[in-house]
Amino acid sequence: SYETRISSRRFIEALVDNRKQIFVDSLSPSEKILDSEWFVSSWQFDPTIQSMLVMLDDIKKCFNDVDDLAGLLSDSNNKPLVFQFLDMEELGMEDTLYIKLNARGKPLTEFENFKARLFGRMHELYTGDGDKDDNFETNFKHAFDGKWTDLFWKQFEDKDKFDENYLNFFNVLFMNNSVLFIDGMLITNASHPHWANKFEISKIDTSMFETVYYCLNFLCDDKCDPKFIENIIKNIFAPAVQDRTSHQNRLMLHALTTYLYKSKGKTESLDKWLRIMQNLIKNSSFDDNRSYQRAAKSILKMSDHWQDLLAYFNDGVKIDGFSPEQVNEEHIKAQIISNPDTDPAFKKAIYDAEKHQYFCGQIRSALYLAKDSGKYDFDKFKCYWDKIAALFDKNKPKNGLLLRRALLSKGDYTMSVKGSCKTLCVDSSSDTYSLKRLFSNGKEVKEVKELLDDLNTTNDLDNQLEEIIKKSTISQKDWRYCFIQYPALFGLMDPNYLRIKKVDDYFSNLHYHIIIPKKSSNGYNYSTHLEALSLEYFKACNKSVNDIGTFAERYLPIKDFKVTYNNGAYTITNNKDKTIQTKTDDDDVITEALDIIKKLLAEQTPPTQNNN
């Protein structure tokens, strides 16, 4: 067997099982092995296996013509092979000792050195301490090289990253618990190079070893519900190991490991704990390491109540580190669920609503809209939530443009973003300016309530949204009219931003809305009303001409005329003599401008001569 690298160990096991196939013909053992069906292709990159293949070839060269070689080697009287056993426990775990004992004469890998340092630190903490479990160190080491190794090997497809994935788990764990120090500095950056050989091992205490022990043993437990564990591995463990840069992934793993440490591996209330943790973490923003650390400390504080976190929230205690809106929502839900007078169907409806993948536990809009005389009405909650859930699938709104146009028919629902821009709200549920956030704040957004009140889930929702749009009586001077009646305008904006901006400059007397193609308005932008007119005339948008910047001149060229829009009116100018031909003054400015342009063009066209 081979102790430190699993690929080497697996190779030796397979080699022993298939040993009769190796020396049967003239081919070298390495050729036979590399061509065999049991040999895993990634093994050829393992330096230990590479050395073994070379040695097997040399063994055949040297001993192939020796008769009864097996009998000679196993002769108990002559004892041709003798081994010396060196007890590592008595000698310590220094890196230099490992390197000296390494038959390749090369330094061990980063993972092997990390493992040596980790075991050495554990030996310091647990040896000779009567208060510690005498078997803990032994059990930890056996699990590390046994079932935990199997866990990492089975759960990640890229076997070449086995060592990396194992290290990543410890990296995230140490960062979450603020014990990863290098040269006296706390490390929270997941991409720090060679951290495993540089971090201060003395910062690792018994709590870290016990956290690892309880967490990985739980994930390997064959007595728990396999679907429950599979779900945790898929949605919490694996994402944190594979993407350490995500603060949300790290915090979800922190919630899991902290609970298991505090509960000493008990799992009776784990699902209830993770439900609230996921709601808080997935619906909060962690823009920097400082906000991430605050959340990690808050999780550690809440873990004192691991047995009944719901009751803790029912008391309305202050929770730091997470979105205040989400914390308040969890308080409300805890009060409803904990109330013995609450209809069990209401509790179930809340749990079911939280499973919607787009909203991921953020259901406060339906709760706010269901509040009546200080109480939360179950029937109203169910009615509003069913409508919201019907409008969205797990990744996005089912018909985003139709939904946005129907909302614009109700009013200006846009959100303000940096740089005085506004957004029509993007699809992505993880974005700060998303439709998820808009619908989650239903109490504050009248357009959302009015839209939901008009919908009936028993009928086709798309048809109902179309009907809402048809009934719209918005003036053509309103920028909303352009997006409602000309949905192609949405195509001028990056779907990751969907930004517009109101141009207001009283010195230049500029008053209109522009479409921002990207994130910033510094580049080329488009006049909302000019593009709408372009769609009417050319049956295609993006025909206007403009310079870079917010206050640039924008116009639509139509043959010999130049059309501009400002302050609720179109102006048509003759390009030849630069004279203003006319200016719209009706409320239906787009229709009026189109009629004027057609009339001017007709006047320019010479009459057809009659040859008769």
pTM reported for the whole predicted model: 0.78
pLDDT in tens, 400-425: 999 999 999 999 999 999 878 999 99
pLDDT in tens, 222-259: 888 999 999 999 999 999 999 999 999 999 999 999 99
Residue 564, pLDDT above cutoff 70: yes
DSSP assignment of 55-72, as one string?
Answer: HHHHHHHHHTT-TTHHHH
Residue 184, pLDDT above cutoff 50: yes
pLDDT, residue 610, reads 52
Residue 444, pLDDT above cutoff 80: no
Contact at 8 Å (CB) between 513 and 479?
yes
**Residue 336's pLDDT band (boundaries 50, 70, 90)?**
very high
pLDDT in tens, 523-533: 889 999 999 99
pLDDT in tens, 268-319: 999 999 999 999 999 999 989 999 999 999 999 999 999 999 999 999 899 9
Q: Higher model confidence: residue 91 or residue 483?
A: 483
Residue 409: alpha-carbon gap to chain centroid: 33
Residue 605: alpha-carbon gap to chain centroid: 60
**Residue 612's pLDDT band (boundaries 50, 70, 90)?**
very low
Residue 449, pLDDT above cutoff 50: yes
Residue 84, pLDDT above cutoff 90: no
pLDDT, residue 95, reads 52
Two structure tokens written together for 198: 């540089």
pLDDT in tens, 99-134: 555 555 556 788 988 999 999 999 999 886 555 566
Question: What is the arithmetic mean of pLDDT over 579-601?
Answer: 91
pLDDT, residue 205, reads 95
pLDDT in tens, 119-175: 999 999 988 655 556 689 999 999 998 899 999 999 998 888 999 999 999 999 999
pLDDT, residue 553, reads 86
Residue 9, pLDDT above cutoff 50: yes
Q: What is the percent of the chain with per-residue pLDDT over 70, rounded to a whole number?
A: 93
CA distance 71 to 76: 10
Q: Which residues of 59-87 are buried (b: 16+ CB within 10 A; e: fewer)?
A: ebeeeeeeeeeeeeeeeeeeeeeeeeeee
Contact at 8 Å (CB) between 282 and 208?
no
pLDDT in tens, 338-375: 999 999 999 999 999 999 999 999 999 999 999 988 89
The amino acid that residue 538 corresponds to is: F
Question: What is the arithmetic mean of pLDDT over 553-580?
Answer: 91
Written in H, E and C, the secondary structure of 277-305 is HHHHHHCCCCCCHHHHHHHHHHHHHHHHH
Two structure tokens written together for 230: 């599979």
Residue 217, pLDDT above cutoff 90: yes
Strands 375-376 and 415-416: unpaired
Q: What are the beta bridge partners of residue 566?
A: 569
Contact at 8 Å (CB) between 467 and 480?
no
Indicate the average pLDDT of the chain.
Answer: 90
pLDDT in tens, 450-472: 999 999 999 999 999 999 999 99
- Mean pLDDT lowest for which of 46-50, 54-58, 95-99? 95-99
